[in-house]
Copies of this chain bind each other. A is one copy, B any other.
Amino acid sequence: MRLSNLYTKTIKNNPSDEQSLNAQLLIRAGFIHKEMAGVYSYLPLGKRVLDNISKIIREEMNNLGCLEVQMSILQPKEIWEITDRWDDKKVDIWFKTKLYNGQELGIGLTHEEPIVDSLKSYIDSYKSLPVYVYQIQNKFRNELRAKSGLLRGREFLMKDLYSFSESQEGHRKFYEKVIKSYQNIYSKLELGDFTYRTYADGGIFSKSFSDEFQTISPIGEDDIYVDEVKKIAINAEIYNDLNLKKLSLDKSSLVLKKGVEVGNTFSLESKYTDALDLYYTDKNGHKKSIIMGCYGIGVSRLMGVIAEVFADSNGLVWPNCIAPFKVYLISVNEDPKSKQKTEVIYKLLTQKNIDVIYDDRDVRAGEKFADADLLGIPYRVVVNQNFEDKQVELKHRKQNKIEFVQFDRLESIIY
């Protein structure tokens, strides 16, 4: 893509109404637009990142044998009253609205109830189980305060997976598979080395622990105790001798760190399935409870976390796999011959299906360099006098390393 075709522009100064680094950088670089506190629109560059993260998550979910659905955002209150999650005194983050006849509706904040309800038409016997369904969808939370950019939104993109198993054993087996999938996702996003499976409170439903995935970062809002050798952590909220013993964790190997939550997995036992009257009949004709799990990853939150943890003083630094473009192409000289050479490189890379953004603007080279950095594009390719030797200058954004490479070798370096 030619930069002249991209309508967004970089902004020099930080927006005055943003406190969080992720929102500041993403707005300055033209990835997002603030509609109001906690509500952002995704502009072309931001949409590409969001899609790239979604694609990685979707592949992992499909590999697990999960089926993708799209539940409605508008929610009838009846199913939420059954589980006692409608009343604002019980769940204080609902956005609610009304039909013209006065009937109250909720605006989806999660989807346990409607998913269970939709399964009632289909699940009867053990032959129908297990069921694994997920969606990637906007969710809404009426947060009192929203000052963390994409980290805590009033509207945000979420992957939510729900599992339905006939036994604790079957549930547990799948649950651990999801944990592995989540670890794959964080590894692909280059967060793996400092993202910890973290034991947390199982909530009121479950005697077992729940799991969070916590990325170590000073921006984190959670205190977690990390065992760096075992690659496991425990949330400070449940840090006590009894739990340490249960989890075979040794106090002396644990270090207190700040973590930002990038995913969670819950065993819900049969709380929702029983309440909404979803049972199955086993091989012997007996009516049995269905064991449910739910597994969340905030897609837009991940975009915010990644923006923030990898950023340097020059701007964003995207991991290759989710960068909006792989290559930022620049010609330092404005003469026709240089431009023509740059066009050659542009075509060469584009033909190899490498996503290139070609800065064809009529501005100083310094401005182009600054924008390449701010946008966080992994490879900056500069066409200059070395072109005569069939060489271009290649800068690796992350390592801040510059090398000269033969341009027919470019595609073997860029991944």
Contacts and interface: CB of A to CB of B under 8 A. Distances in A.
A285 interface: no
Contacts of A119: 7
A39 B118 CA distance: 13
B74 A36 contact: yes
Contacts of A155: 72-74
A174 to B, nearest CB: 14
A44 interface: yes
Interface stretch (A120-128, A210-218, A350-358, A380-388): A120-128
A107 B97 contact: yes
Contact of A121 (B33, B44, B72): B33
A41 B128 CA distance: 20
Interface stretch (A63-71, A192-200, A327-335): A63-71
A122 B8 contact: yes
A76 interface: yes
A74 B153 CA distance: 11
Question: How many copies make up the complex?
Answer: 2
Contacts of A68: 44, 47
B40 A72 contact: yes
Given A75-B35, A76-B36, A70 B97 contact: no
Nearest to A1: B67
A35 B138 contact: no
A220 to B, nearest CB: 26
A100 B37 CA distance: 13
A82 interface: no
Contacts of A95: 74, 97-98, 105
Interface residues of A, number: 55
A229 interface: no
A98 B140 CA distance: 12
Contacts of A128: 7
Nearest to A11: B121
A103 to B, nearest CB: 8
A30 interface: yes
A7 B122 CA distance: 7
A142 interface: yes
A44 B73 contact: no
The 6 closest A-B pairs by CB, nearest first: A44-B67, A42-B70, A33-B118, A41-B71, A7-B131, A95-B97
Given A11-B121, A73-B140, 11 more contacts: A8-B122, A30-B122, A41-B71, A41-B114, A43-B69, A73-B73, A74-B95, A74-B155, A97-B107, A99-B142, A138-B138
